[in-house]
Amino acid sequence: MPLIPLKRFATMDPYVLVSAVNMQLRDEFSSLDELCSAQEISKEELLQRLRKADFVYDEESRQFK
């Protein structure tokens, strides 16, 4: 399954974004750092964007909740 490009995450609907990120973390990547590196996006900016929508990254489960 092709990856959903996240380059424009700043303008994506936050619910679509969190779904895409969590799916990729579950299926393709072993860490948020790896996902951000592969997608060439800023981890801090992604965290901030999702935090604004009340999603917090849980390292243990490797997903945003």
Q: Where do the H-state alpha helices sit in 1-65?
A: 14-27, 32-39, 43-52
Q: What is the per-residue pLDDT for 1?
A: 58
Asked if residue 15 belongs to a domain, the reply is yes
Q: What is the per-residue pLDDT for 3?
A: 81
Asked if residue 3 belongs to a domain, the reply is no
Asked if residue 59 belongs to a domain, the reply is yes
3-state SS assignment for residue 63: strand
Asked if residue 24 belongs to a domain, the reply is yes
| C-alpha pair distances (Å), 36 with each of 6, 21, 41, 48 | 9, 10, 5, 13
Asked if residue 55 belongs to a domain, the reply is yes
**pLDDT digit string (tens) for 16-52?**
999 999 999 999 999 999 999 999 999 999 999 999 9
What does pTM read for this prediction? 0.92
CB-count burial class (<10 Å; 0-12, 13-18, 19+) for 26: exposed
Quick one: angle between helices 14-27 and 43-52, nearest 10? 130
Asked if residue 1 belongs to a domain, the reply is no
Residue bearing the bigger pLDDT, 3 or 53: 53
Q: What is the per-residue pLDDT for 14?
A: 96
Q: What is the mean pLDDT of residues 8-12?
A: 94
**Number of domains, the chain:** 1
